[in-house]
Amino acid sequence: MTETLSRLLLRLSEAEHPVLWGRVAAPHFGREFDRLLAQRVLVEDPPTDTWAVCSDCDCDLDARPIQQIHGQRVAVCSQDHRSDVHLSDDDIRSYRIDPALLVGLIGKASGLNRPPEAILPGVWRLANVFGSQAVFLALSVSATTQPALLGMLTRAAQGTAATLLVPRGMPEESRRLLEDSGIHVVVTTDVMGNEAPFALEAERLVPANMPKLRLSRGRLAVTLFGTEGTLAKRPFDLLWILAEAGGTIVERRIIEAHMWSQPVAKTAVNDAVRDLREGLAAIDPRSENLIETKAGQGYRVALAPGEMVLNKSG
C-alpha cells in the first residue's frame, strides 16, 4: 500500500462530491477506517446495481446492469461476453466522503486552536498559527477557482499573513493569482505528517522567508521568529525606533530625543535597552543577540530590513 488513507481521501476530495469505491477502500479496511465510519467522515451508500460500460463499447448504454449469473455478480456487456466483469462484494460498495467533517478531522488531528469555519463553498478557515499566520483550507479543485476566493481570504485574514492549503490539482493560473497577492499557497498533502494521520505539520504552514520580527503598534505586539508576545510601552517604543532604522545604528541622543521630551538621566537609555532585551527574551530566547550595542555609537537591531514588518495600525 503506497498511499495512506488520509492522502487518498484528500486526493478524492479534489472532486466536489467525493466518493470512495470499495475496491479502492478495501486495502485500508481496519480500525482507522472504522473510526472514519463512526465519525461519519465516510458514509456508506447502498450497493450499486449498475456498472460503467466498457471503455470502447458500442452498446449505446449509459451504464450496464449488474446481474446474478450462476451465483456470481456480473456486469454484463451486451455486445461481447468476453468484456463481462465479475464483481466482488467490495466492488459494489461505495462511501461518500463528507468534506466538512474531513476538514474538522484535520483541524482536530493538527491540534489547531479552533474548529474550522466555512467561509466559502469548499473553503474553511482553520486557525492562526505562530501568533499571526491565518491558515485556510480549500478541499476541491472547484473551490480554488471561485472568483470570490481572493477577496474573501484577504478579508478573513484581517490584515495578517495568510496561508491557503490547496488540492494538488489546483490550476496553475489560479495559484499564481493568489501568490501574486501575497497568499502563501501550499499543497495540503505536502504538509501532512506521516506520523499522525490527518495531522498538518504546523511549522510548514508558514513561508520559509517569514519575517523574523513583526511589530504591531496598536497592540504593542511583537512576533519574534513566529512567536507572538507583547511588550510594555517603553520597550516597545524603543524597539520601534530601532526597527524603523532597518538594522542601521541609532545613536543614543536620537533615542533620547524620540522617547523623552525632557532631558533624562544618562542611564535612561541603558535601562530602556535592558528592559527591552528582557521583554524580548520572555517572548523568544533566540532574541539574545537581537539588540546589538555599538560601543560609543548606539544600538541596532541585528536584522536586515526585509526581515522586519512594522504595522502601525494592527
**How far apart are alpha carbons 217 and 236 in whole angstroms?**
8
Binding mask 78-117 for Zn ion (x = CB under 5 A): -x---x----------------------------------
If one asks whether residue 135 binds Zn ion (CB under 5 A), the answer comes out as: no
The b/e string for 48-57 (b: 16+ C-beta within 10 A; e otherwise) is: beebebbeee
Only one of the segments 32-40, 59-67, 171-179, 184-192 lies at the binding site for Zn ion (rule: CB under 5 A); that segment is 59-67
Only one of the segments 47-55, 127-135, 159-167, 253-261 lies at the binding site for Zn ion (rule: CB under 5 A); that segment is 47-55
Nearer to Zn ion, 61 or 309 (CB): 61
User: Which backbone phi and psi does 279 adopt, to 5 degrees?
Assistant: -60, -40
Nearer to Zn ion, 83 or 227 (CB): 83
| Minimal distance, residue 110 CB to Zn ion, in Å | 46
Nearer to Zn ion, 80 or 203 (CB): 80
Nearer to Zn ion, 56 or 195 (CB): 56
| Minimal distance, residue 12 CB to Zn ion, in Å | 26
| Minimal distance, residue 160 CB to Zn ion, in Å | 56
If one asks whether residue 150 binds Zn ion (CB under 5 A), the answer comes out as: no
Nearer to Zn ion, 59 or 101 (CB): 59
**How far apart are alpha carbons 190 and 204 in whole angstroms?**
9
| Minimal distance, residue 48 CB to Zn ion, in Å | 17
- Partnered with residue 63 across adjacent β-strands are 52
Nearer to Zn ion, 55 or 261 (CB): 55
Q: Which residue has the cell 546589538?
A: 292
If one asks whether residue 54 binds Zn ion (CB under 5 A), the answer comes out as: yes
Instruction: Identify the residue among 8, 77, 199, 239 touching Zn ion (CB under 5 A).
Output: 77
| Minimal distance, residue 39 CB to Zn ion, in Å | 39
Only one of the segments 22-30, 51-59, 207-215, 278-286 lies at the binding site for Zn ion (rule: CB under 5 A); that segment is 51-59
**How far apart are alpha carbons 8 and 4 in whole angstroms?**
6
| Minimal distance, residue 104 CB to Zn ion, in Å | 42
Nearer to Zn ion, 44 or 58 (CB): 58
Only one of the segments 17-25, 77-85, 87-95, 260-268 lies at the binding site for Zn ion (rule: CB under 5 A); that segment is 77-85
Considering CB under 5 A, how many residues would be counted as binding Zn ion?
A: 6
Residues that bind Zn ion (CB under 5 A): 54, 57, 59, 77, 79, 83
